[in-house]
Amino acid sequence: MARGWESKQVEEQMAERHDAEPSEGEKDVALVRKRRDLEMQREYLLNQRTSNPQRRAALEAALEQVEASLCELG
Protein backbone atom coordinates (compact mmCIF):
# COMPACT_ATOMS: atom_id res chain seq x y z
CA MET A 1 0.00 0.00 0.00
CA ALA A 2 1.37 3.41 -0.94
CA ARG A 3 1.82 6.01 1.75
CA GLY A 4 0.12 9.35 1.49
CA TRP A 5 1.99 12.57 0.85
CA GLU A 6 1.27 13.89 4.37
CA SER A 7 2.76 10.88 6.12
CA LYS A 8 5.93 11.19 4.02
CA GLN A 9 6.18 14.86 4.98
CA VAL A 10 5.78 14.03 8.68
CA GLU A 11 8.44 11.34 8.37
CA GLU A 12 10.82 13.81 6.73
CA GLN A 13 10.21 16.38 9.47
CA MET A 14 10.91 13.79 12.15
CA ALA A 15 14.13 12.76 10.42
CA GLU A 16 15.25 16.38 10.15
CA ARG A 17 14.52 16.97 13.83
CA HIS A 18 16.44 13.84 14.80
CA ASP A 19 19.43 14.98 12.73
CA ALA A 20 19.33 18.49 14.21
CA GLU A 21 19.05 17.46 17.88
CA PRO A 22 21.71 15.08 19.18
CA SER A 23 20.58 12.54 21.73
CA GLU A 24 21.74 12.64 25.36
CA GLY A 25 24.28 9.89 24.71
CA GLU A 26 25.72 11.77 21.76
CA LYS A 27 25.93 14.94 23.86
CA ASP A 28 27.83 13.06 26.58
CA VAL A 29 30.28 11.61 24.07
CA ALA A 30 30.80 15.02 22.50
CA LEU A 31 31.48 16.60 25.92
CA VAL A 32 33.96 13.89 26.86
CA ARG A 33 35.73 14.26 23.52
CA LYS A 34 35.83 18.06 23.83
CA ARG A 35 37.20 17.87 27.39
CA ARG A 36 39.87 15.38 26.31
CA ASP A 37 40.88 17.59 23.39
CA LEU A 38 41.14 20.64 25.64
CA GLU A 39 43.19 18.72 28.20
CA MET A 40 45.56 17.59 25.46
CA GLN A 41 45.91 21.15 24.22
CA ARG A 42 46.61 22.27 27.78
CA GLU A 43 49.35 19.66 28.18
CA TYR A 44 50.88 20.65 24.85
CA LEU A 45 50.96 24.32 25.85
CA LEU A 46 52.44 23.54 29.26
CA ASN A 47 55.23 21.50 27.65
CA GLN A 48 56.28 24.29 25.30
CA ARG A 49 59.56 25.98 26.20
CA THR A 50 60.73 29.23 24.68
CA SER A 51 62.91 32.19 25.53
CA ASN A 52 61.12 34.45 23.06
CA PRO A 53 58.90 36.84 25.07
CA GLN A 54 56.34 37.22 22.27
CA ARG A 55 56.03 33.47 21.83
CA ARG A 56 55.76 33.01 25.61
CA ALA A 57 52.97 35.63 25.77
CA ALA A 58 51.12 33.89 22.95
CA LEU A 59 51.43 30.52 24.71
CA GLU A 60 50.20 32.00 27.99
CA ALA A 61 47.21 33.59 26.25
CA ALA A 62 46.36 30.30 24.56
CA LEU A 63 46.68 28.47 27.87
CA GLU A 64 44.30 30.93 29.54
CA GLN A 65 41.79 30.40 26.77
CA VAL A 66 42.00 26.60 27.03
CA GLU A 67 41.65 26.71 30.81
CA ALA A 68 38.62 29.03 30.51
CA SER A 69 37.02 26.56 28.10
CA LEU A 70 37.69 23.72 30.53
CA CYS A 71 36.04 25.70 33.33
CA GLU A 72 32.97 26.29 31.16
CA LEU A 73 32.61 22.55 30.64
CA GLY A 74 32.63 22.07 34.39
What pTM did the predictor assign? 0.64
Range of the domain at 44: 24-73
Q: How many independent structural domains does the chain possess?
A: 1
Q: Is the pLDDT of residue 3 over 80?
A: no
SS3 state at 1: coil
pLDDT digits (tens, 9 = 90+) for 21-69: 667 777 889 999 999 999 999 999 999 999 999 999 999 999 999 999 9
Residues contacting residue 67 through CB under 8 Å, at least 6 positions apart: 42
- Mean pLDDT, range 3-15, rounded to an integer: 68
Residue 62: inside a domain = yes
Task: With respect to residue 33, please indicate whether it lies within any of the assigned structural domains.
Answer: yes
